[in-house]
Amino acid sequence: HNQLLMDVMEKVALRHDFRVLFHEKPFAGINGSGKHNNWALATDTGKNLLSPGKTPKKNIQFLTFFITTIKAVHEHADLLRASIASASND
């Protein structure tokens, strides 16, 4: 629904010679749509598991956790959406 609504808003705005910005922070110091979610995955010692390595060998850990995270988000999208989004996000 969100994508459809953004498409409709953009078409209506253009029809009236306006523009719609969907950026989280379109201007410095001014809140935008708030359409983002920040989170991290780290070890108990604070090592960021989603930080790319500087060498191919060290990058394997990043790729492993990145791909696994994307797969988990895809497989559990309904549960994630129900637990982190409110009706106002639709």
Q: Is residue 26 located within the same domain as residue 51?
A: no
Assigned token pair, 21: 């910005």
Q: Is residue 61 located within the same domain as residue 90?
A: yes
Q: Is residue 24 located within the same domain as residue 64?
A: no
CA angle (6 as vertex; 21, 24 as ends), nearest 5: 40
CA angle (7 as vertex; 2, 13 as ends), nearest 5: 125
The confidence score (pLDDT) of residue 85 equals 67
Q: Is residue 32 located within the same domain as residue 42?
A: no
Q: Is the pLDDT of residue 64 over 80?
A: yes
Q: Is residue 42 located within the same domain as residue 32?
A: no
Q: Is residue 23 located within the same domain as residue 45?
A: no
Is 24 within 8 Å of 34 (Cβ atoms)?
Answer: yes
pTM, 2 dp: 0.49
CA angle (78 as vertex; 31, 86 as ends), nearest 5: 35
The confidence score (pLDDT) of residue 16 equals 93
Is 49 within 8 Å of 42 (Cβ atoms)?
Answer: yes
Domain range for 67 is 38-90
